[in-house]
Amino acid sequence: MNRARRSATGLRRLRRGRPGASVRMQRPILANARAPTVDPTASPMNSIFIHDLRLQTRIGVYEWEQHLAQTLRLDLEIGLSSDAAFRSDDLADALDYSAVVKRLSVLAAEHPHRLMERFAQAVADIVLGEYPASWVKVRVAKLAPIAGVKELGVAIERHRR
């Protein structure tokens, strides 16, 4: 009996719970398999996120929108080129999440924008300009702005220059 057939017979016996059933497993052979390589000189890339931040602001192109505060939902992913906080467990090495939230709350409260695109860019400028971020992804959404629409918005990604 050839090897493949013996293996299949053993597997059937094993499935049926018969004694004497044994299957010899072979490791698959991967052609051209290589271990992953890591560049020891590359900076680590880590990110933190702030999701579902609700901000009140005046935003919109219509006159009535400039006089009525609306709720925006903001999602951020912030890239950090340093892994110091991940290693040290020291707040001094970390990005202060609460400071970011407070700063963006002030932006929303004090600076009306006509377009969500411009608001998203202002958020990205603040994160990259005032915090140790190497990149940022910003997603801004108006909640239920149009009948039948749960949310609509914009998403951008910006990198430090």
Evaluate if residue 80 carries a pLDDT over 60: yes
Question: What pLDDT was estimated at residue 74?
Answer: 97
With 70 as the cut, is the pLDDT of residue 21 above it?
A: no
- Which residue would you say has higher pLDDT here, 70 or 22? 70
pLDDT at residue 72 greater than cutoff 60: yes
Q: How far apart are CA 74 and CA 146, in angstroms?
A: 18
DSSP letter at 29? P
Overall domain count for the chain: 2
Q: What percent of the chain has pLDDT over 90?
A: 45
**Has residue 146 been placed in a domain?**
yes
Query: Quick one: pLDDT at residue 136?
Result: 97
Confidence (pLDDT) at 11: 54
pLDDT of residue 159: 95
In this structure, are 22 and 98 located in the same domain?
no
Q: Do 62 and 27 reside in the same domain of the chain?
A: no
* Cα gap 128→76, rounded to integer Å: 12
Q: Is residue 29 part of a domain?
A: yes
Same domain, 80 and 153: yes
Residue-level pLDDT at 153 = 95
95 in a domain, yes or no?
A: yes
pLDDT tens-digit map of 120-136 = 999 999 999 999 999 99
Which domain does 136 fall in, by range? 46-159
User: Choosing from 102, 137, 142, 150, which is the catalytic residue?
Assistant: 142
Residues 67 and 146 in one domain: yes
Enumerate the H helices of the chain as residue ranges: 3-16, 84-88, 97-110, 116-130
Angle subtended at Cα 122 by Cα 109 and Cα 142, rounded to the nearest 5 degrees:
60
Annotated catalytic residue 137: no
The helix, strand and coil proportions of the chain, stated in percent and rounded to the nearest 5, come to 35, 25, 40
The answer to whether residues 67 and 18 belong to one domain is no
CATH number (domain holding residue 124): 3.30.1130.10
Q: Is the pTM of this model over 0.85?
A: no
